[in-house]
Copies of this chain bind each other. A is one copy, B any other.
Amino acid sequence: MTMDAHPSKTLAEFAATLEPKAIPETVLRRAEELFVDWFGSALAGKGARPVEAIESLAREMGPEAGEAEVLISRRGTSPYFAAMVNAAASHYAEQDDVHNGSVFHPAAVVFPPALALAQSLGRSGEEFLTAVAAGYEVGIRVGEFLGRSHYKIFHTTGTAGTLAAAAAAGRLLRLTPTQMLDAFGSAGTQAAGLWEFLRDAADSKQLHTAHAASAGLAAALLAAKGFTGAKHVLEGPQGMGAGMSRDADPSRLTDRLGSRWALAETSFKYHASCRHTHPAADALLHVMRQHGLEAEDIARVRAYVHQAAIDVLGPVVEPQTVHQAKFSMGTVLGLIAVFGRAGLQEFETAFRDPRVVAFRGKVDMVLDPEVDSAYPQRWIGKVVIETVDGRTLSGRVDEPKGDPGNTLSRTEIEEKFRRLTEYGKAATGEEVDRLLPRLWAIAQAPRVARFWE
């Protein structure tokens, strides 16, 4: 591999000059699906305390009108505040998408600034999706560049997310490559987000996406006005890699730009639980369907997992809250066994259902060398079940539901969308009926208009 002497510039140039015709058809169709999936997550944030606090801040500090739409409240304001609130809202239910290799949630930081600017500038749906692709390709590569040491302290969705937002916004503003590099400089020098809040279960997660989306958008708007930024904000000796990582790898910034589409590697979240539970949940579902089993037919489940799953899920023995239940392997498999799914509603209403609690006691986790060595590139699910009638049945899923090789169908995305909007009480079934066809047709829209008018 030849070293790129100025990877920030190469990446900025790519984002600024990306054209729809350069993007494969399958990638554009996947972008549509990620858009619909994101929109549902944004609506699911309605009514959530931290999200409504940010919306209240936006009402007090921002303008009362504008072409950019706050999806949960259906009001218009400036792109800055629409991006801020929509980003906070879409990261709340933890059902927004994820890119495995970069451990980065692109949708929550890319769609909010892109939608806000597309609406206020009246850009076409095609230009909107192109900007979204620029945001995904940039953000994922910045996340991969920052690496594992970064993720130990920093919430990559907050930090890399600021660059992702700037790239998407910059493309909609039609920045030149030089201006896009300025936007990257102004975004990178505002990039922030620390994991420390997790210890106190504080509200920062929504603030991180809100901040990334609004600061990245501001960086792009400033670049359009001639405001300059550092030219090596990612790889420079006083840049993000130097200050916020110990294993930053600049070669990742430009990895197969234009031929590898990181957007299409992004996973939909299917279950509403910690992602470390998903492979086993899918494997269990597979065995139960294959053999026509009910929850009460099962005597014991062994889930064969990677070490990180044991580290994260092991401490949760008897979950006391919905949030903890999402980190309990026994509860997740219990919901799957009893209801056939582990969605937002099941967690809210049934994590203490006696049938689920009983099933929880039948579940063990076992470290599996094959599963562990494949992680994190591949998340393999393996379970072995003992039935009440004495059979031993095993199941295996090589890619959890939602990963690119086992993706959600458009019907499944719509079903998820309906569950998310019911959860947030953000739209009626009739409104969703009218909304979904418009969302699916985004690529054909001559102008991205407001959805709630």
Chain A positions within 8 Å of B, measured between CB atoms, are 49-50, 53-54, 56-57, 60-64, 78-81, 152-154, 158, 182, 185-186, 188-200, 202-204, 207-208, 211, 215, 218, 221-222, 225-233, 236-240, 242-244
Contact A196 B153 (CB under 8 A): no
Q: Which B residues touch A182, using CB under 8 A? A: 202
Question: How distant is the Cα of A204 from the Cα of B228 in the complex, in angstroms?
Answer: 7
Q: Which B residues touch A230, using CB under 8 A? A: 194, 196-197, 199-200, 202, 204
Question: How distant is the Cα of A402 from the Cα of B446 in the complex, in angstroms?
Answer: 61
Chain B's nearest CB lies how many Å from the CB of A187?
10
Given the interface contacts A80-B61, A152-B238, A211-B215, does A193 sit within 8 Å of B199 by beta carbon? no
Chain B's nearest CB lies how many Å from the CB of A190?
5
Q: Which B residues touch A53, using CB under 8 A? A: 222, 225-227
Q: Which B residues touch A60, using CB under 8 A? A: 78, 221
Interface of A: prevailing SS: helix
Contact B231 A49 (CB under 8 A): no
Question: How distant is the Cα of A193 from the Cα of B162 in the complex, in angstroms?
Answer: 13
Contact A229 B211 (CB under 8 A): no
Question: How distant is the Cα of A194 from the Cα of B203 in the complex, in angstroms?
Answer: 26
When C-beta atoms are compared, the residue in chain B nearest to A64 turns out to be B63
Contact A78 B61 (CB under 8 A): yes
Given contacts A50-B227, A57-B222, 19 further A-B contacts (CB under 8 A): A50-B228, A53-B222, A60-B221, A61-B79, A182-B202, A188-B196, A189-B208, A190-B207, A191-B192, A194-B233, A194-B238, A196-B233, A196-B242, A197-B229, A199-B230, A200-B228, A202-B228, A202-B229, A244-B244
Chain B's nearest CB lies how many Å from the CB of A202?
4
- Among B56, B189, B221, B237, point to the contact of A57 (Cβ < 8 A): B221
Q: Which B residues touch A238, using CB under 8 A? A: 152-153, 194-196, 198-199
Q: Which B residues touch A63, using CB under 8 A? A: 61-64
- Among B54, B152, B200, point to the contact of A222 (Cβ < 8 A): B54
Q: Which B residues touch A57, using CB under 8 A? A: 218, 221-222, 225
List the number of copies, as a whole number: 2
Q: Which B residues touch A200, using CB under 8 A? A: 185, 228-231
- Among B207, B228, B231, point to the contact of A189 (Cβ < 8 A): B207
Question: How distant is the Cα of A61 from the Cα of B236 in the complex, in angstroms?
Answer: 31
Given the interface contacts A186-B207, A204-B186, does A194 sit within 8 Å of B239 by beta carbon? yes
Q: Which B residues touch A243, using CB under 8 A? A: 153-154, 194, 244
- Among B196, B204, B226, point to the contact of A237 (Cβ < 8 A): B196
Question: How distant is the Cα of A203 from the Cα of B233 in the complex, in angstroms?
Answer: 13
A-B contact pairs, 20 of them (CB 8 A): A53-B225, A53-B226, A61-B79, A61-B80, A62-B78, A185-B197, A185-B202, A186-B203, A186-B204, A186-B207, A188-B196, A189-B194, A189-B208, A191-B192, A192-B192, A194-B233, A196-B230, A200-B230, A202-B229, A243-B244
When C-beta atoms are compared, the residue in chain B nearest to A83 turns out to be B61
Contact A81 B61 (CB under 8 A): yes
Most buried by B among A54, A61, A208: A61
Closest 8 CB pairs of A and B: A61-B80, A153-B243, A196-B230, A197-B230, A195-B238, A202-B228, A53-B225, A196-B238
